[in-house]
Amino acid sequence: MATAGSNQIKNAKLVLLGDVGTGKSSLVLRFVKGQFVEFQQSTIGAAFFSQVVSVNGESVKFEIWDTAGQERYHSLAPMYYRGAAAAVVVYDITNSATFTRAKKWVQELQAQGSSNTIIALAGNKADLLEARQVTTEVRFLGGALSISCRYLHAADASEKVRNDDEMLQLQEAQTYAQDNGLYLMETSAKTAINVNDIFYEIAKRLTQVKPVQNPQGMTLTGRPDDKPVAAASCCSS
């Protein structure tokens, strides 16, 4: 619902992209309904959700398309990301192959999507830190483990990095995000870590830019002699 200080709700098409099993459906289910299903069925084609968030006195209604991650549905993806105001590309931090695939999704979005589309990178399954394969910069703050400024998980002081060299090298995902102008946040649909945060950050950025317009069709103009054109008849077979 729009707040008292806002004139209207701003509609924003958002698409989730990423490999099968990365947790796209779980992320959107947690965001929209506050629920988590341990064994979530894979999406077939695409699923639609909507959610309204208020940020900085404005309301943004996300029209969310959760796309299937299976390769056989890849050809359908442009139908969903075309004209999108934002995209969340999801990978599984415990599976480096999904991060490689996420990079390809980003490349496709940058090449074929709108230049104004806000792209966020979500490293999902952050509750499985011990099984991490895709790294993010970490540093010690006050004796506790802090996972970069974009990963807001308040880690317990008992969590340890195995060695200093590994700690210094944990910046793969963040470096990629910075090099490509992406917003990066690690999330956990299971524990709800950063799930709302990533969508709220997107909403905040959307309120700061002009809305993305859907591609317009051709404009037909009158003939030079201004004579009316007879309507063509057609039949169905």
Burial class (CB in 10 A: 0-12, 13-18, 19+), 161: middle
Domains present along the chain, CATH in parentheses: 9-206 (3.40.50.300)
Q: Indicate whether 231 pLDDT > 70.
A: no
Show the 3-state SS of 148-174.
Answer: CCCCCCECCCCCCCCCHHHHHHCCHHH
> Which of 117, 114, 129, 120 has its CA nearest to residue 102?
120
* Average pLDDT estimate for 136-155: 38
pTM higher than 0.75 for the full model?
no
* Distance, C-alpha 68 to centroid of its chain: 14
Beta bridge partners of 124: 92
Greatest mean pLDDT among 56-70, 140-154, 223-237 lies in 56-70
| 132: pLDDT strictly greater than 90 | no
Above 50 in pLDDT, residue 22? yes
Cα–Cα separations (whole angstroms), residue 116 to 29, 102, 105, 214 = 26, 19, 16, 12
CA 73 centroid distance within chain: 18
**Cα 237 from Cα 229, distance rounded (Å):** 25
How confident is the model over 18-46, as a mean pLDDT? 83
Residue 159 has a pLDDT of: 43
Closest by CA to 206, choosing from 110, 121, 85, is: 85
Q: Which pLDDT value is given to residue 143?
A: 35
The span from the CA of 31 to the CA of 52, in Å, is 10
Give 55-64 pLDDT, tens digit per residue: 988 999 999 9
pLDDT tens-digit readout, 70-102: 666 688 889 989 999 999 999 998 898 999 999
pLDDT (mean) for 34-52: 77
* C-alpha distances in Å from residue 205, one per residue of 58, 100, 196, 200, 235: 11, 26, 14, 9, 48
